Amino acid sequence: MFVRILMAVALLWSGLVQAERLKDISNVDGVRTNQLIGYGLIVGLSGTGDKAPFTNQTFANMMNQFGITLPAGVDPKSKNIAAVTVHAELPPFVKPGQRIDITVSSIGNAASLRGGTLLMTPLRGADGNTYAVAQGSLVVGGLGAEGADGSRIQVNVPSVGRIPNGAIIERAVAHNFYGGDSITFNLHRADFTSAKRVAERINDLLGDQVAQAIDAVSVRVRAPRDPSQRVSYLSVLENLEVQPGEEAAKIIINSRTGTIVIGQNVRVSPAAVTHGSLTVTITEAPQVVQPEPLANGETAVQPVSNIDVRRDDSTMFKFAPGITLDEIVRAVNQVGAAPGDLMAILEALKQAGALKADLVVI
């Protein structure tokens, strides 16, 4: 059966243009990562630790667990320890005994975590349960140095580091992947056309009413209950190629960086645009005025200002009905419009009702 399905998938792929795999545009409902966080101590620093009071309290509590009690009111004044937060992403279906990467960040005033070692730190989920335990030596990409006169240099961020495979999984996350008679694909981008095409493509492959588009995001597909069959079944479906629906017409403008992105479906109604600029240049050329000989005068500085006004020739261009993205860019480039000028032109076209697209300013 699965051989016939794979052959059908190959035939369907051959007729698609600009298609994408289902696994690239969606995810399976219930198959997700989970965030973990913990609090711990970094030791072994070379005098770059922090001086936060909670660091000393954490250090004292740790020593008590090993049977060492610090006298009340005694400050250990250790410069080689730092309090840190540890966070990680728990992948789906991960099992106890497997390892994941972790990121360690200083929460005090530690100058650098380079050379430090993270002590055993429980990592908890949002439900408060411990799912992993982290420990190991940090890899820090940043570097900082400071001189006696206060001058300093810093490369990247030395107060953040990573530990590859630094946490061991202690508990698996419960899931309902094998429960029920169906699985649901959730599209990364909500689009009714894409959801309809996904359902149609699956039904063309497996038969009518196998897949149903629930809304603009979710597509429910009937699936076998047997775990091995469900895995093979999903392997076939996630490699099925689908042509997503086209994006809505949008123009994205980043006013801080001057970046403008124009979508492929942007259209312009008939409109005429003129582009020109007035440049005013003011330069100061002070002159030194010397007194006449034997006049008992003083040397003075006389300000002299030169003002130059230049008006560039204005260029007018006309947009024809249904003009495309390439034609918009070509017309604007012909008049030499800078990003700031282009923003003003697009905003004016939008206000005039000639721009058939959403103008998004970020």
Q: Taking the domains of the chain in order of start, what are their residue ranges?
A: 2-31+176-242, 34-169, 250-361
> DSSP readout, 73-89?
T-----SS-EEEEEEEE
pLDDT of residue 333: 66
pLDDT tens digits along 315-334: 566 666 666 656 666 666 66
Q: How many CA atoms lie within 13 A of 264 on its CB side?
A: 3
Print the SS3 string covering 217-256.
CEEEEECCCCHHHHHHHHHHHHCCEECCCCCCCEEEEECC
Lowest mean pLDDT across 42-46, 110-114, 188-192, 256-260: 256-260
Mode of pairing for the β-strands spanning 34-43 and 117-124: antiparallel
Structure tokens at 160: 């953040």
Task: Give 89 or 61, the one with higher predicted confidence.
Answer: 89
pLDDT of residue 65: 83
Q: b or e along 82-115 (b: 16 or more beta carbons within 10 Å of the residue's beta carbon)?
A: bbbebebebeeebeeeebbebbbebebebbbbbe
What mean pLDDT comes out for the span 129-133?
96
User: Rounded to two decimals, what is the model's pTM?
Assistant: 0.67
Domain 2-31+176-242 has CATH 2.40.10: no
pLDDT tens digits along 39-73: 999 999 988 888 888 888 888 888 888 888 877 77
- Which of the 8 DSSP states describes residue 122? E
pLDDT of residue 162: 93
pLDDT of residue 334: 66
What mean pLDDT comes out for the span 358-362?
83
SS3 content of the chain, % helix, strand, coil (to 5): 20, 35, 40
pLDDT tens digits along 26-37: 999 988 899 999
Sign of CA dihedral 150, 156, 159, 164: negative
Say how far apart CA 101 and CA 136 lie, in whole Å. 11
pLDDT of residue 349: 78
Q: What is the CA radius of gyration of the chain?
A: 33
